[in-house]
Amino acid sequence: MSLEHLWAGWRSQYIDTVTADGSSLAPNSQGSLFERILGSGVPDEETFIVHRGVHCFVICNLYPYTNGHLLVLPNRAEPDLEALTPHEHAELFTLVTRAVRAVKQAYRCDGVNVGMNLGKAGGAGVPDHLHAHVLPRWEGDTNFMTAIASTRVLPETLLQSWAKICDAWTQPPGT
């Protein structure tokens, strides 16, 4: 079996930003990955932040399962759902609902997955900062590339997904 390559060159700009010496996003900076992104001062269209709330924010997943895959999370790093303040909890789930609405509007999908992987053993890729996943799904969206090659094909760039979600985010419900 030969090794196949799928190019995603558009990700290199973000990787360059994150790994640059002196970058507020670099791993040696203080805070969790998401706290560094939120506090970086980098424009939202470069960090793919969709919404900034008082206690929580919404961002496009940099490694999406499908286009339109969002993360909803508290502004501060907290690994445990039960440790959120009442204000964080309320805003988190209000934003999950808004994210579902925006994903449905932007992608005209057949369904939506919403979920959390809490803790490393629970499957969390960033276990120190809980986050809810919100992603569009379609009937039959698992095709031969996923089943045979364990590969997902995403037809739009992350910037295109961000713009589409931001547009839907600002629309009144039901439009």
Burial class (CB in 10 A: 0-12, 13-18, 19+), 65: middle
- Determine which one of 51, 55, 131, 133 is catalytic: 131
**Is 131 annotated in the active site?**
yes
SS3 157: coil
Tokens of 78: 């907290």
Where does residue 146 fall: left (phi above 0), alpha (psi -120 to 50 degrees), or beta otherwise? alpha
From residue 137, give the alpha-carbon distance in Å to each of 13, 98, 152: 28, 17, 13
Closest by alpha carbon to 59, among 83, 32, 81, 21?
Answer: 32
CB 46 within 8 Å of CB 17 = yes
Residues noted as catalytic: 131
